Structure 1
């Protein structure tokens, strides 16, 4: 395990998701990097919904950190108190970095994300849910955003003809400011698949039965109707955990848990602290933009380390507004900002749906074929 050098500045990255791994790897050659991450593997959450229906595919979302860093190290602990120059871990160990990168991401209800730190326990969760979905006669999916739509598509690709109801209290599918033609195409795709799509309608309260478990229930909707089903999944309600922030960093927190940053990804009023990914209050919370934000932060930290005074700091901008929504491995639609027509099934499968970017992220983590996932 590499040791800290007196001649190299230190960088602590809190969180080993899409943004944190990119920032850590970009700085590994120039700084003493410590990546703090309690989970025992990288979780490729882009593939989590497929893992929910195909347990024999689930190993693809658990990737080793073993080859991420050449000189730095990954510490499998949880940060419990973080302020500039001070990172306290659950074990009591204290790190005193010159630069700090906050990249703790967001939480989301299972199965889109699993909070388990153990890969084996998480694999068991996905395998158990797949068995329950297979047994279910009528699945209710709550939330008609991209996650809910993709979940429905994965279920129907695995079990064609299964009865599925998709509910959302919003007036249309898909949040955000995407083109109406994309929403129209998504509604058409959903209803043509035989899904009972109910917009402007939610449940008055969540079922007493636990999510993802076959247990018949009757639920009342906000329109006065009754739904009888035997399994439900929650596909809405993400949150940003940042209660570990302390000292001056608490002043940069929003009520949502996100942290205020400039377009150089520096935390407001902090010269040596950066925030990237879902915790940053800049841009949409996507893996694509998290990767770009991490690159921007790493470039700016590198400039400070080498003492580069000419030129300007790197700044974040979304270079390619888009949304690709798979509906199982071979179907879906999507929108690219520079393209008039929406993406067809074949294009969505090629860009994302068929492979869910597994190879891309095994490469980003420095992993090779045959060694890039855990337990396979």
Structure 2
């Protein structure tokens, strides 16, 4: 494929998640942008857990790419091999790129994330698990991190009487460098809702029943206790896939699969290849950080293209965590703030809307055209 149109350099953005759409949009006015993304729609994973319990709300997380780029284009394909200056797609097509932005994100067990390329198939999965959850009597959730806690809240907001056990081998909820008062607030929130919270113990073996399916089972914990339930979900075990980077780029890969980057988001040892979001070995793997990093990478590429302005470096601009517990409850923490966020603030910042309007705007969509099959 020609690398220049009207003399503009080609920027290949690999991955159409939170970081990818930001980088592609921000460079669309000065470069020939090609966004490579296998899925037929943007998946707003921030809202995935609510999509599972609210079929009427579920279409909101499927957003069209059709208006993201005014000049560039979206290619629905998968990157098979990427090296400096060259992107080979699974279809065999080759892109000659002056700049490359790696933004392939991370994987996580369904329903927090879904790997289906087809929106229609993905919607069917969410509808099926909704039906199964509705009929299940006792739900076992494995993992008491942010996903596990938020999933408890979404389930109880929809089915307040549902029996839930939340199990984690860690000594406390919520891994990471967060204040104890936040963890205490989350424990209290779970306890007040009648959740059977079991910390410091895991399962000897995962249930033989498939995750998300209604099948009675008995699970034994590492302490020897028995848990009888009829549906379980995995809320741990995310990771990144970067085996498509080859040649000199592969040397920047860490054991976890993330790529070592400089503070300006360039992959170590490379001047024209950037990595942003979860695949970058810098910062927390959140949608907020992905957006910030994509903005910095796009600004730096703009400087390289135009020769104007100053390059930027990544610094976590606003350490925080907002944890909705359904639409009307939750808590959160912001750096340099003594008190935790109250329920009203959590609802305003995230819990009520889960940032739907922000990303429909980011994708350039208007009312009536911002979902597929809405």
Q: TM > 0.5 between the two?
A: yes
Deviation for aligned residue 1:161: 1.3
Among residues 334, 339, 351, which one is paired with 1:336 in the alignment? 334
Deviations 1:132-164 (A, max 9, x none): 000000000000000000000000000001100
TM-score for the superposition, normalised by structure 1: 0.98
Tell me how far 1:331 sits from its aligned partner. Answer: 0.3
- Normalising by structure 2, what TM-score? 0.98
Offset of residue 297 of structure 1: 0.2
Tell me which residue corresponds to 1:139: 139
Q: Which residue of 2 aligns with 1:39?
A: 39
Q: Give the C-alpha shift of residue 3 in structure 1.
A: 9.6
Measure, in 2, the Cα distance between the counterparts of 1:345 and 1:144: 20
- CA distance in 2 between counterparts of 1:297 and 1:50 reads 31
Give the structure 2 partner of residue 360 of structure 1. Answer: 358
Q: Could you say which residue in structure 2 is the equivalent of 1:106?
A: 106
Aligned: 1:233 with 2:233: yes
How far apart, CA to CA, are the structure 1 residues paired with 2:291 and 2:119?
23
Matches within 5 A, 1:1-376: 4-308=4-308, 312-376=310-374
**Would you identify which runs of 4 or more consecutive aligned residues in structure 1 move more than 3 Å?**
none
Q: Counterparts of 1:289 and 1:6 in 2: how far apart (Å)? A: 33
For 1:344 and 1:370, the matched residues in 2 are separated by 34
- Structure 2 CA distance for aligned equivalents of residues 375 and 330 of structure 1: 27
Specify the SS of the correspondent of 1:289: helix
Q: 1:264 and 1:100 mapped to 2: Cα distance? A: 14
CA deviation map 1:311-335 (0-9, x unaligned): 6411111111100000000000000
Q: Cα RMSD over matched residues?
A: 1.1
Q: Which runs of 5+ in 2 are unaligned?
A: none
Work out the CA distance in 2 between the residues paired with 1:287 and 1:27.
Answer: 19
Q: Give the distance between the partners of 1:278 and 1:319, measured in 2 at CA.
A: 17
Deviation by residue 1:51-102 (Cα, 9 ceiling, x = unmatched): 1111111100000000000000000000100000110011100001000000
- Structure 1 residues not aligned, in runs of 5+: none
Distance 1:209 1:225 in 2: 19
TM-fit CA distance, 1:6: 4.5
2:206 and 2:91 map into 1 onto residues whose CA distance is 37
